[in-house]
Amino acid sequence: MTSVRGAGDHGFDAPYLIFIPAAVVAGNAAQAIWMRSLWPFVGTWIVLLCMVSGLYTSRRGKFVVWSAIAAP
């Protein structure tokens, strides 16, 4: 399957959803330091993986899906 990126820049689908998980990551990191435990970092990694997935689908993934739908 080939993908063609559109000429326009459609931006982020929900830009405010970048800052909220970033705050959660910062809170989890602060909690891990305060508690002297590594367990809050598990949640931090899960949130970071979700952020990366959201950024990919917002910036690149939608073009892959659109090109697959538009292909004859």
pLDDT in tens, 13-69: 777 777 888 898 899 989 999 999 888 889 889 988 988 888 888 877 777 887 888
For residue 2, give both structure tokens.
């080939």
For residue 57, give both structure tokens.
């689908």
13's enclosing H/E stretch is: none
Give residue-wise pLDDT tens across range 39-51. Answer: 888 988 998 898 8
Q: Is the pTM of this model over 0.75?
A: no
Q: What is the pLDDT of residue 6?
A: 53
Which position has the token pair 């590594």?
38
- Taking alpha carbons only, the member of 5, 1, 19 closest to residue 61 is 5
